[in-house]
A = this chain, B = another copy of it.
Amino acid sequence: MSKARLPIPEPEPARIFAALGDRTRLSLLTRLSDGQPRSIAALSVDTNLTRQAVTKHLHVLEEAGIVRSTRIGRESRFTYRPEPIAEAKSYLDRVTAQWDDALLRLKHFVEDDPGGGRSA
């Protein structure tokens, strides 16, 4: 039994965040998140970078699972995939939840113990 090949490697949060950690890639992301597939050429206009630079950024996004590429004729179309962004949000939600939980505990501690716990 060989391990089933995953079509998409399900990248960990760190890889997703790293892919988002660049202005150019965030810009590409916001353009693609309207659901419209776009070619590299289309994504390269309105940028001062070369087509190859844009290509590299798109590959970074693709390896993070944030976009998918499909070759159609002579062009390759990049399409937004929502799952990794959802995973990133979920991760941040857990961080926030732990923080909120800590605040709540502190509040209860103070309220339930007006003396602040000091025995003196």
Number of copies of this protein chain within its complex: 2
Who on chain B is nearest to A66 by CB? B95
Who on chain B is nearest to A97 by CB? B33
The answer to whether B15 touches A21 (Cβ under 8 A) is yes
A79 CB → nearest B CB, Å: 11
The answer to whether A23 touches B17 (Cβ under 8 A) is no
**A 53-109 contacts with B by CB, 8 A:** 80, 82, 85-86, 88-89, 92-93, 95-96, 98-99, 101-103, 106
The answer to whether A22 touches B26 (Cβ under 8 A) is no
Q: Which positions in A face B, CB cutoff 8 Å?
A: 12-23, 26, 29-30, 33-36, 80, 82, 85-86, 88-89, 92-93, 95-96, 98-99, 101-103, 106
Q: Which of B18, B23, B33, B92 contacts A95, CB < 8 Å?
A: B33
Q: Which of B12, B22, B98 contacts A23, CB < 8 Å?
A: B12
